[in-house]
Amino acid sequence: MDISAIYNRLISFIMGPGLIIITCVLFVICAVLLLPVIGKWKVFVKAGYPGWAIFIPYYKDYVLFRVAGLPWWVFAIRLLMTFIIPSDIIDIIVKLIVSILVATKGFAKSIKFGIGLYLLPFIFYPILGFNKDPWQHPQYHLLFFKSKKNGLLESHIQ
């Protein structure tokens, strides 16, 4: 089999069913990459922060901490720990906790929704960004949140 026959078979595949397969794969890849960006943009805007913050690495994390209702110094400690102890396990745990706080305290969703924000951001961030639920403006005192019912302090993970 010469090279022109291989080329002709390849072209006929690409122009036929291969084109459909390649188009579907590219569409799924674009959706998985773009949906979390669009969803986080909408979440940031809903919380009163600029949407373009998702494109700046550490500022995005800072804004996400603020949307979760955490004070700035918690982000500073996390940033210092990232540079002092570069560990993926610590980063995974912190991002999971922040995702849960964004869901529970920021938007009054369940802990399961927060875990979904961490594991499947291309599904859950657009849901959070495009639904009608407002941002709750979580109030914090150190690492505790003020209860809206009786004014007492309660832990942020219930």
What residues contact residue 75 under an 8 Å CB cut-off, 6+ apart? 61, 62, 65, 66
Strand partners, 146: 153
- The residue that leads in pLDDT, 73 or 86, is 73
The CB-side HSE value for 51 (13 A sphere, CA atoms) comes to 11
| Cα–Cα nearest to 140, from 65, 82, 85, 45 | 65
Predicted confidence at residue 140, as pLDDT, reads 57
- If 0-12 CB within 10 Å is exposed, 13-18 middle and 19+ buried, where does residue 63 land? buried
Q: Return d(Cα 51, Cα 58) in angstroms, integer.
A: 14
- State the chain's mean pLDDT as an integer: 81
- Answering whether pTM is above 0.75, one says no
Q: Return d(Cα 26, Cα 18) in angstroms, integer.
A: 12
Mean pLDDT of 76-95: 84
Predicted confidence at residue 139, as pLDDT, reads 63
